[in-house]
Amino acid sequence: MQNRQSSTKLAPRTLEGWRGYWYRVMYFHDKRDEKLFDLVLIGFILFSVLITVLDSVQAVHAHAHGALYVLEWIFTLAFTVEYVLRLSVVQNPWRYARSFFGIIDLLSFLPAYLELLFLGSGHLTVIRTLRVLRIFRILKLMEYTSASNQMLDALSRSKSKIFVFVLSVLTLTTIFGSIMYLVEGPQNGFTSIPRGIYWAIVTMATVGFGDITPKTALGQIITSGIIIVGYGIIAVPTGIYSAELVNSYRNQRRLEEHREAQTKNSVTCVRCGLVGHTSDARYCRRCGEALPGVSAAVHPEAAFPDSSDHADRARV
């Protein structure tokens, strides 16, 4: 039920009627129709991005532009209707429109209308590829929430180490770039220190475009050393992030085991059905009802409840 709790901020005041139905379909992912909507939406997103990519190929554009254009407008109209529905069912439409995924939803169909209004705005079609980001909203609210949280937690924990690492790499590239500028000089393509830094970054990343190459023996020796250092540099951030990812997974497992242990020993309220009370709880934290297993001898006030103190119990 984690996905339901994550959507409560946008939920309408009531889940009855057509607004409630479409809100559940769009933001919940438990029932059959809700899962079917997610699958159809993912299919629309992937096919629309594929059409945008294929239409950029000259050979495909020349032979199938008409069909791709019709399909693109079908997807555009579908995304437009979905966006209007989302604005209609949420309690605060402006909050949704300003959110990250609200902006992505808007950009998924807006370029098509801009092409009609402004000639020469065809380059905006590239923005349509941002539609693929919408898949992350669906995955976030589905069973992939735990995995994404672990990856983000590991990235957050390792950001200071990665920052120091990147700063060290920038320092090395500046030093090596300056050295190569002195060793090779403008006659061999190293016309400036920034040009040397560019060469050092490309070489250290083991890409090696070949647009600038050292000609002197000393320059080639330095290049060999930089390449060897580059292989080690590639492994460092991977190791840092992997270690934090393992730690995050272990912490998540400990938390889940702790919750399972609490659930096994928890008490269920007989009045409202709320579960998860600790074994030493006296009253339900939702409705204030005396929990089962609480002896009247231990808590004599539980044997004679009255309306005057019922609200006080709800706050225990």
65 and 103 part of one domain: yes
Q: What CATH number does residue 91 fall under? A: 1.20.120.350
In the Cβ-directed half-sphere of 131, how many Cα atoms lie within 13 Å? 29
156 and 114 part of one domain: no
259 and 270 part of one domain: no
The last residue of a domain, from among 143, 163, 192: 143
50 and 151 part of one domain: no
152 and 105 part of one domain: no
Q: What CATH number does residue 222 fall under? A: 1.10.287.70
101 and 192 part of one domain: no
Query: What's the domain range around 314?
Result: 265-316
80 and 63 part of one domain: yes
The last residue of a domain, from among 116, 143, 170: 143
179 and 307 part of one domain: no
* Percent of the chain scoring above 90 in pLDDT: 16
pLDDT at 313: 42
236 and 251 part of one domain: yes
Q: Is pTM beyond 0.85 here?
A: no
The last residue of a domain, from among 108, 126, 143: 143
CB neighbour burial string for 70-79, b if at least 16 within 10 angstroms, e if fewer: ebbeebbebb
119 and 171 part of one domain: no
Per-residue pLDDT of the chain (316 residues; tens, 9 = 90+): 444 444 445 555 555 678 888 888 888 777 788 888 888 988 998 898 898 888 888 888 888 888 988 998 999 999 999 999 999 888 888 988 898 888 888 988 888 888 887 766 556 667 777 778 777 766 655 556 667 777 778 888 888 888 888 898 899 999 999 999 999 989 988 999 999 999 999 988 877 787 888 999 999 999 999 888 888 887 888 888 888 888 888 887 887 777 666 665 567 777 777 776 666 778 887 777 888 765 444 444 444 444 444 444 444 4
152 and 167 part of one domain: yes
Nearest to 181 by CA among 198, 168, 167: 198
Q: Structurally, how many domains does the chain consist of?
A: 3
254 and 274 part of one domain: no
Mind listing the pLDDT tens digit for each residue in 133-160? 777 766 655 556 667 777 778 888 888 8
